[in-house]
Chains A and B, each alone.
Chain A
Amino acid sequence: MQPTIRRDLFTQEVFDSGSLGPLVSVIHRFDCAGTYSGKVLRHGAPAGSFAFIVDPQSETGQLSIDLSEAADGRHSGCCDGDDPSHWVVSPSGYVLFYASRGRGYATLVAEGDQRKPVFDSPMLRAGDLFALSLIEPTTYHATDRIGGGKAGIAVKRDPKRTRNLRNLEPVYVEVGQGTMQPHEIDPASAQGIVFRINTESRIVVQKTGKTPDDASRVLHRSFRADASAQNKI
Chain B
Amino acid sequence: MTPDSGTATVGDQKTSASAPLLSRSESLSAHDLLEMLRQLYLARYFDVRLIKEKKRGRLRGTLYSSHNQEAILVGSLFGLKPTDWISPIHRDMPAFFLKDLRAGWDNPERMGMSIEEVCGQIWGKASSPGRARDNWSHIGSRTKRIIHSTSMLAGTIPAAAGVVYADRLDGGDAVAVTFNGEGSTAQGIFHEAINFAAVHKLPVITIIENNGWAYGTPTYLGHATPDFADRAKGYGIPGLIADGQNVFDVYDKVMSCVDHARNGGGPSIIECKTFRAYGHGDHDDDRAAKYRPQEEVERGRSRDPIAVAKDILVDKGILARSEADRYSPEGKTAGEVTDEDFPPEVVEFMKRGIEHALKAPMPEAEEAAMWVYREGS
Do these two chains interact? no
